[in-house]
Homo-oligomer: A and B are copies of this chain.
Amino acid sequence: MPKDMTMTTEPTDIFTRRESEARSYCRGIPALFTSASGSIMRDAEGREHIDFLAGCSSLNYGHNDPDMKAALVQHLMDDGIAHGLDLHTDAKARFLEAFERHILAPRGMDHRVMFTGPTGANAVEAAMKMARKATGRTNIIAFTNGFHGVTLGALAATGNGYHRGGAGMDVQGVTRLPYDGYATGVDSAALLEQMLGDASGGIDAPAAIMLETVQGEGGLNAASAEFVQRVAAIAKVHGALLIIDDIQAGCGRTGRFFSFEEMGVMPDLVPLAKSISGFGLPMAAVLVRPKHDVFGPAEHNGTFRGNTHAFVTAHVAVEKFWADDAFQTELAEKAALIERRLTELAALVPGAYLKGRGLMRGVDVGSGGLAGAICARAFENGLIIETSGNEDHVVKVLAPLTTPVALFEQGFDILLDAARDVLATTKIAAE
């Protein structure tokens, strides 16, 4: 039996002493968290924090959803499978059935589900490999400010130079082009089309074009439906697969289950992770159209491809939130609330403007310094919120989609007060 688990030293000591310098969020959000429910996190000092970060969109249904929790506890009590490699389990069957019935079938998607190692990066790697194997080509076109993970294959597609620098070597196999609206006066889809169509354009025939419809890490840049449609058409003309990385923007974040639902495109490959388990448990998948489902058995393998606990909660998530339209209707209302309050925030800062789409919104306040200061002040007052963008200059709201209206308003009050405080201080300092 494990002994009593009393910690003999200050808990943060152990992190400094034994956790790698690579740790990050804990630096800007310096509390020791002990429990959480819904949109509230509690720390060891008994303080409550409103969570507008939601595990970077991994907790779209909030912390410890009671129905998922109940199902998982029951699974544990029944000695349900905890680890089953990629064996058939009842939990996996239930998840797949629900996912087919409530997600895939109603949207006319014939995609199969490939469970990859339970990280978004792994799903992206699998999608990139699959596209390359299916087409016999190497090159994958990705976009400025895209973020797709930091393992070597996915990292090549990630725009951020700090992350790419971590590779310690040249990354391969990706061509970078400007995202929708990236450069003033540049029609990004037209440039892509011209360079691909040009015999001396210098871009190898692509296996895939990969994009996020809203760039979560890249600054909440939202592509227009027209851009996504044109990219889809260009991909088709050039024999490339269309990969829509819906890891952060999927699972309801933009107001629909998939971020591309109302855009009139049907991606060939869709990496999913973050909120797919519903409960914040590690889980990832690639949706793939049957004709591109080209891996042989275990050709892309991994020990944790089937996180059975995640299947249990994911099943509940699908049944509870996506069996009818109720949740989607609720999301539209909350998206409007977010837009209204962020418009207020933008009005406080000269030159600031709204970014993003649905419930994946933010305000570009013009500098990383200001955005960071606002978030830091908000944290002091009980709100967990983070920045985004190539210069961390966007205050980003990624609250649980289930956040009650009153709590949303309360969180925004803290945020706006924080912005006012910081701006006042800055103004005084400037005078």
Contact = CB atoms under 8 A, between A and B. Distances in A.
B125 A151 contact: yes
A307 B320 contact: no
B168 A138 contact: yes
Given A35-B79, A176-B201, A319-B2, A301 B163 contact: yes
Contacts of A1: 67, 320
Sorted nearest first, the 7 A-B pairs with minimum C-beta distance are A83-B280, A132-B168, A152-B153, A20-B114, A159-B202, A24-B298, A200-B390
Contacts of A300: 22, 150, 163, 166
Interface string A157-175: 0111111111111101101
The winner among A19, A100, A154, A169 for most chain B CB atoms within 10 A is A169
B41 A59 contact: no
A20 to B, nearest CB: 3
A419 to B, nearest CB: 23
Interface string A39-71: 001001000000001011011000110010101
A21 to B, nearest CB: 5
Contact of A186 (B99, B132, B191): B191
B22 A299 contact: yes
Contacts of A132: 167-169
A17 B58 CA distance: 28
A175 B63 CA distance: 44
A429 interface: no
A89 B280 contact: no
Interface in A351-389: 389
B198 A144 contact: yes
Contact of A96 (B15, B97, B137): B15
A272 to B, nearest CB: 12
B88 A11 contact: yes
Nearest to A134: B168
B44 A90 contact: yes
Interface string A236-279: 00000000000000000000000000000000000001100001
Interface string A183-204: 1111100110011001111111
Nearest to A133: B168
Interface in A261-314: 273-274, 279-282, 286, 288, 293-304, 307, 309
Interface stretch (A26-34, A223-231, A329-337, A406-414): A26-34
A97 B14 contact: yes
A23 B162 contact: no
A390 B151 contact: no
Nearest to A36: B81
A90 B33 contact: yes
Nearest to A368: B199
Nearest to A147: B200
